[in-house]
Amino acid sequence: MKRFLLAAAAVLATPLHTHAAEVSVAVAANFTVPMQKIAALFEQDTGHKAVLAFGSTGRFYAQIRNGAPFEVLLAADDETPARLEQEALAVPGSRFTYAVGRLVLWSKRAGLVDGQGQVLRRPDAFDKIAVADPKLAPYGAAAIEVMGKLGVLDPLRPKIVQGENIAQTHQFVATQNAALGFVALSQVYVDGRLGEGSAWVVPPDLHTPIRQDAVLLKKGHGHAAATALLLFLKGDKARAVIRGHGYGP
Protein backbone atom coordinates (compact mmCIF):
# COMPACT_ATOMS: atom_id res chain seq x y z
CA MET A 1 0.00 0.00 0.00
CA LYS A 2 2.83 2.40 0.90
CA ARG A 3 4.50 1.72 -2.45
CA PHE A 4 1.19 2.40 -4.24
CA LEU A 5 0.74 5.77 -2.50
CA LEU A 6 4.32 6.83 -3.21
CA ALA A 7 3.85 6.03 -6.89
CA ALA A 8 0.57 7.95 -6.95
CA ALA A 9 2.18 10.95 -5.27
CA ALA A 10 4.93 10.95 -7.87
CA VAL A 11 2.32 11.00 -10.62
CA LEU A 12 0.55 14.02 -9.16
CA ALA A 13 3.87 15.78 -8.66
CA THR A 14 4.41 15.74 -12.44
CA PRO A 15 3.82 19.13 -14.09
CA LEU A 16 0.22 19.67 -15.12
CA HIS A 17 -0.83 18.45 -18.56
CA THR A 18 2.48 16.64 -19.07
CA HIS A 19 1.98 13.05 -20.24
CA ALA A 20 -1.79 13.51 -19.94
CA ALA A 21 -3.71 10.29 -20.48
CA GLU A 22 -7.19 8.81 -20.31
CA VAL A 23 -8.45 6.36 -17.70
CA SER A 24 -11.51 4.18 -18.21
CA VAL A 25 -13.66 4.12 -15.06
CA ALA A 26 -16.64 1.94 -14.18
CA VAL A 27 -18.79 3.93 -11.75
CA ALA A 28 -21.73 2.75 -9.63
CA ALA A 29 -24.90 4.47 -10.84
CA ASN A 30 -25.59 6.15 -7.50
CA PHE A 31 -22.31 8.07 -7.82
CA THR A 32 -23.07 9.53 -11.26
CA VAL A 33 -23.41 13.23 -10.44
CA PRO A 34 -20.59 13.44 -7.87
CA MET A 35 -18.21 11.57 -10.17
CA GLN A 36 -18.98 13.84 -13.11
CA LYS A 37 -17.97 16.80 -10.97
CA ILE A 38 -14.88 15.02 -9.62
CA ALA A 39 -13.80 14.02 -13.14
CA ALA A 40 -13.95 17.65 -14.25
CA LEU A 41 -11.82 18.75 -11.28
CA PHE A 42 -9.42 15.87 -11.89
CA GLU A 43 -8.88 16.87 -15.51
CA GLN A 44 -8.47 20.52 -14.54
CA ASP A 45 -5.82 19.70 -11.92
CA THR A 46 -3.88 16.91 -13.63
CA GLY A 47 -4.62 17.06 -17.34
CA HIS A 48 -5.72 13.42 -17.24
CA LYS A 49 -9.20 12.62 -18.52
CA ALA A 50 -11.52 10.13 -16.79
CA VAL A 51 -13.77 8.35 -19.28
CA LEU A 52 -16.80 7.33 -17.23
CA ALA A 53 -19.29 4.47 -17.61
CA PHE A 54 -22.23 4.24 -15.19
CA GLY A 55 -24.21 1.16 -14.20
CA SER A 56 -24.89 -1.48 -11.58
CA THR A 57 -21.98 -2.93 -9.63
CA GLY A 58 -23.17 -6.46 -10.34
CA ARG A 59 -23.10 -5.95 -14.10
CA PHE A 60 -19.70 -4.27 -13.96
CA TYR A 61 -18.35 -7.26 -12.04
CA ALA A 62 -19.54 -9.62 -14.78
CA GLN A 63 -18.11 -7.37 -17.51
CA ILE A 64 -14.72 -7.10 -15.80
CA ARG A 65 -14.53 -10.87 -15.43
CA ASN A 66 -15.24 -11.11 -19.16
CA GLY A 67 -12.41 -8.76 -20.09
CA ALA A 68 -14.04 -5.32 -20.19
CA PRO A 69 -11.31 -2.67 -20.59
CA PHE A 70 -11.95 -0.78 -17.35
CA GLU A 71 -8.94 0.38 -15.37
CA VAL A 72 -10.67 1.62 -12.22
CA LEU A 73 -13.87 0.48 -10.49
CA LEU A 74 -15.89 2.68 -8.14
CA ALA A 75 -18.32 0.15 -6.72
CA ALA A 76 -21.49 0.60 -4.70
CA ASP A 77 -20.27 -1.96 -2.16
CA ASP A 78 -17.07 -3.24 -0.59
CA GLU A 79 -17.58 -6.89 -1.46
CA THR A 80 -17.16 -6.65 -5.24
CA PRO A 81 -13.73 -4.94 -5.21
CA ALA A 82 -12.54 -7.45 -2.58
CA ARG A 83 -13.76 -10.33 -4.75
CA LEU A 84 -11.96 -8.93 -7.81
CA GLU A 85 -8.79 -8.65 -5.76
CA GLN A 86 -9.12 -12.27 -4.63
CA GLU A 87 -9.62 -13.33 -8.24
CA ALA A 88 -6.43 -11.49 -9.31
CA LEU A 89 -8.45 -9.02 -11.39
CA ALA A 90 -7.51 -6.05 -9.21
CA VAL A 91 -4.22 -4.73 -7.82
CA PRO A 92 -3.61 -5.83 -4.20
CA GLY A 93 -3.40 -2.95 -1.73
CA SER A 94 -5.19 -0.43 -3.97
CA ARG A 95 -8.67 -0.88 -2.51
CA PHE A 96 -10.20 1.74 -0.19
CA THR A 97 -13.60 3.12 0.85
CA TYR A 98 -14.25 6.37 -1.01
CA ALA A 99 -17.77 6.97 0.34
CA VAL A 100 -20.43 5.57 2.64
CA GLY A 101 -23.82 5.63 0.96
CA ARG A 102 -27.10 6.70 2.53
CA LEU A 103 -30.48 5.29 1.56
CA VAL A 104 -33.59 7.46 1.29
CA LEU A 105 -37.27 6.79 0.67
CA TRP A 106 -38.29 9.48 -1.80
CA SER A 107 -41.33 10.69 -3.69
CA LYS A 108 -41.59 13.50 -6.19
CA ARG A 109 -44.91 14.37 -4.55
CA ALA A 110 -44.63 16.79 -1.65
CA GLY A 111 -46.17 15.44 1.54
CA LEU A 112 -46.45 11.80 0.50
CA VAL A 113 -43.40 10.55 2.40
CA ASP A 114 -43.33 11.53 6.08
CA GLY A 115 -40.20 12.08 8.15
CA GLN A 116 -40.45 8.69 9.88
CA GLY A 117 -41.26 6.52 6.87
CA GLN A 118 -44.68 5.58 8.23
CA VAL A 119 -46.08 5.77 4.70
CA LEU A 120 -44.66 2.25 4.25
CA ARG A 121 -47.32 1.03 6.70
CA ARG A 122 -50.06 2.61 4.58
CA PRO A 123 -49.90 0.71 1.28
CA ASP A 124 -53.24 2.19 0.23
CA ALA A 125 -51.48 5.59 0.01
CA PHE A 126 -49.48 4.65 -3.11
CA ASP A 127 -49.63 2.38 -6.14
CA LYS A 128 -46.00 1.34 -6.71
CA ILE A 129 -42.72 1.46 -4.83
CA ALA A 130 -39.46 1.33 -6.79
CA VAL A 131 -36.45 -0.65 -5.62
CA ALA A 132 -33.17 -1.40 -7.41
CA ASP A 133 -32.56 -5.07 -8.24
CA PRO A 134 -31.18 -6.45 -4.94
CA LYS A 135 -29.15 -9.08 -6.81
CA LEU A 136 -27.21 -6.44 -8.72
CA ALA A 137 -27.43 -3.22 -6.71
CA PRO A 138 -26.34 -2.83 -3.07
CA TYR A 139 -28.87 -0.03 -2.57
CA GLY A 140 -31.60 -2.44 -3.64
CA ALA A 141 -30.37 -5.06 -1.18
CA ALA A 142 -30.38 -2.41 1.55
CA ALA A 143 -33.96 -1.41 0.67
CA ILE A 144 -35.17 -5.00 0.97
CA GLU A 145 -33.35 -5.30 4.29
CA VAL A 146 -35.05 -2.14 5.60
CA MET A 147 -38.53 -3.29 4.63
CA GLY A 148 -37.84 -6.68 6.17
CA LYS A 149 -36.74 -5.16 9.49
CA LEU A 150 -39.80 -2.93 9.54
CA GLY A 151 -42.08 -5.90 8.88
CA VAL A 152 -43.59 -4.39 5.73
CA LEU A 153 -41.85 -6.40 3.02
CA ASP A 154 -44.52 -9.06 2.47
CA PRO A 155 -47.46 -6.62 2.33
CA LEU A 156 -45.56 -4.42 -0.12
CA ARG A 157 -44.26 -7.14 -2.46
CA PRO A 158 -47.17 -6.78 -4.95
CA LYS A 159 -46.37 -3.06 -5.28
CA ILE A 160 -42.60 -3.39 -5.82
CA VAL A 161 -41.17 -2.49 -9.25
CA GLN A 162 -37.48 -3.18 -9.82
CA GLY A 163 -34.98 -0.98 -11.59
CA GLU A 164 -31.90 -2.60 -13.08
CA ASN A 165 -29.78 -0.15 -11.10
CA ILE A 166 -30.30 2.79 -8.78
CA ALA A 167 -30.32 5.27 -11.70
CA GLN A 168 -33.28 3.53 -13.33
CA THR A 169 -34.98 3.23 -9.94
CA HIS A 170 -34.65 6.98 -9.45
CA GLN A 171 -36.06 7.53 -12.94
CA PHE A 172 -39.17 5.49 -12.09
CA VAL A 173 -39.88 7.82 -9.17
CA ALA A 174 -38.81 11.03 -10.93
CA THR A 175 -41.23 10.33 -13.80
CA GLN A 176 -43.89 9.26 -11.27
CA ASN A 177 -44.23 5.82 -12.82
CA ALA A 178 -43.81 4.80 -9.19
CA ALA A 179 -45.22 7.01 -6.43
CA LEU A 180 -42.16 6.51 -4.25
CA GLY A 181 -39.00 4.46 -4.04
CA PHE A 182 -35.76 3.74 -2.25
CA VAL A 183 -32.94 5.67 -3.90
CA ALA A 184 -29.51 7.00 -2.98
CA LEU A 185 -29.51 10.17 -0.92
CA SER A 186 -27.01 11.62 -3.39
CA GLN A 187 -29.64 11.48 -6.14
CA VAL A 188 -32.11 13.79 -4.39
CA TYR A 189 -29.99 15.88 -2.02
CA VAL A 190 -27.59 18.64 -3.09
CA ASP A 191 -25.60 20.60 -0.53
CA GLY A 192 -27.51 18.89 2.25
CA ARG A 193 -30.99 19.85 1.03
CA LEU A 194 -33.81 17.96 -0.64
CA GLY A 195 -34.23 19.17 -4.20
CA GLU A 196 -37.96 18.46 -4.50
CA GLY A 197 -40.74 16.23 -3.24
CA SER A 198 -40.75 14.48 0.12
CA ALA A 199 -38.33 12.06 1.73
CA TRP A 200 -37.36 9.94 4.70
CA VAL A 201 -33.62 9.48 5.21
CA VAL A 202 -33.34 5.88 6.38
CA PRO A 203 -31.49 5.47 9.71
CA PRO A 204 -28.19 3.64 9.06
CA ASP A 205 -28.95 1.01 11.71
CA LEU A 206 -31.80 -0.38 9.61
CA HIS A 207 -29.47 -1.89 7.02
CA THR A 208 -25.94 -3.13 6.49
CA PRO A 209 -23.60 -0.15 5.92
CA ILE A 210 -23.24 0.73 2.25
CA ARG A 211 -19.46 1.05 2.11
CA GLN A 212 -18.47 1.97 -1.42
CA ASP A 213 -14.96 0.87 -2.36
CA ALA A 214 -12.70 1.93 -5.21
CA VAL A 215 -10.05 -0.36 -6.63
CA LEU A 216 -7.34 -0.28 -9.29
CA LEU A 217 -8.13 -3.04 -11.76
CA LYS A 218 -5.54 -5.29 -13.35
CA LYS A 219 -5.81 -3.44 -16.67
CA GLY A 220 -4.95 -0.20 -14.87
CA HIS A 221 -1.77 -1.51 -13.25
CA GLY A 222 1.11 0.83 -14.10
CA HIS A 223 -1.27 3.32 -15.73
CA ALA A 224 -0.39 6.84 -14.58
CA ALA A 225 -3.88 8.32 -15.01
CA ALA A 226 -5.55 5.45 -13.16
CA THR A 227 -3.17 5.75 -10.23
CA ALA A 228 -3.59 9.52 -10.15
CA LEU A 229 -7.39 9.28 -10.13
CA LEU A 230 -7.44 7.02 -7.08
CA LEU A 231 -5.19 9.40 -5.20
CA PHE A 232 -7.32 12.38 -6.29
CA LEU A 233 -10.40 10.67 -4.82
CA LYS A 234 -8.73 10.82 -1.41
CA GLY A 235 -7.98 14.53 -1.68
CA ASP A 236 -9.85 17.51 -0.25
CA LYS A 237 -11.51 18.58 -3.52
CA ALA A 238 -13.06 15.19 -4.17
CA ARG A 239 -14.08 14.73 -0.54
CA ALA A 240 -15.86 18.09 -0.54
CA VAL A 241 -17.94 16.98 -3.55
CA ILE A 242 -18.67 13.62 -1.91
CA ARG A 243 -19.85 15.21 1.35
CA GLY A 244 -21.93 17.75 -0.55
CA HIS A 245 -23.96 14.96 -2.11
CA GLY A 246 -24.93 13.32 1.17
CA TYR A 247 -22.29 10.62 1.49
CA GLY A 248 -20.42 9.83 4.65
CA PRO A 249 -16.62 10.06 4.53
Reported as a pLDDT band with limits 50, 70 and 90, residue 244 is confident
Residue 117 has pLDDT above 90, yes or no: yes
For 43-97, what is each residue's pLDDT tens digit? 999 999 999 999 989 999 999 999 999 999 999 999 999 999 999 999 999 999 9
Both 61 and 122 in one domain: the answer is: no
Cα–Cα dist 177/61, whole Å: 29
Sequence-separated (6 or more) residues with CB below 8 Å from residue 25? 35, 39, 50, 51, 52, 53, 70, 71, 72, 73, 74, 229
Please give the single-letter amino acid code of residue 126. Answer: F
Structural domain tally of the chain? 2
Both 148 and 237 in one domain: the answer is: no
Both 181 and 239 in one domain: the answer is: no
Sequence-separated (6 or more) residues with CB below 8 Å from residue 1? 93, 94
Q: Is 206 part of any domain?
A: no
Q: Is 37 part of any domain?
A: yes
Residue 152 sits in a domain whose CATH number is 3.40.190.10
pLDDT of residue 2: 52
Both 10 and 52 in one domain: the answer is: yes
Q: Please give the model's pTM, rounded to 2 decimal places.
A: 0.78
Q: Is 11 part of any domain?
A: yes
Both 232 and 159 in one domain: the answer is: no
Both 82 and 107 in one domain: the answer is: no
Reported as a pLDDT band with limits 50, 70 and 90, residue 1 is low
Range of the domain at 78: 2-100+211-244
Both 108 and 196 in one domain: the answer is: yes
pLDDT of residue 72: 98
Both 88 and 113 in one domain: the answer is: no
Q: Is 138 part of any domain?
A: yes
Q: Is 227 part of any domain?
A: yes
For 202-230, what is each residue's pLDDT tens digit? 999 999 999 999 999 999 999 999 999 99
User: What dihedral angle (degrees, nearest 10) is formed by the CA atoms of 65, 69, 73, 74?
Assistant: -120
Both 108 and 127 in one domain: the answer is: yes
Q: Is 127 part of any domain?
A: yes
Residue 18 has pLDDT above 90, yes or no: no
Q: Is 249 part of any domain?
A: no
pLDDT of residue 8: 52
For 137-183, what is each residue's pLDDT tens digit? 889 999 999 999 999 999 999 999 999 989 999 999 999 999 999 99
Both 7 and 127 in one domain: the answer is: no
CA distances from 220 to 30, 121, 147, 232, 245 (A): 23, 48, 39, 15, 27
Q: Is 196 part of any domain?
A: yes
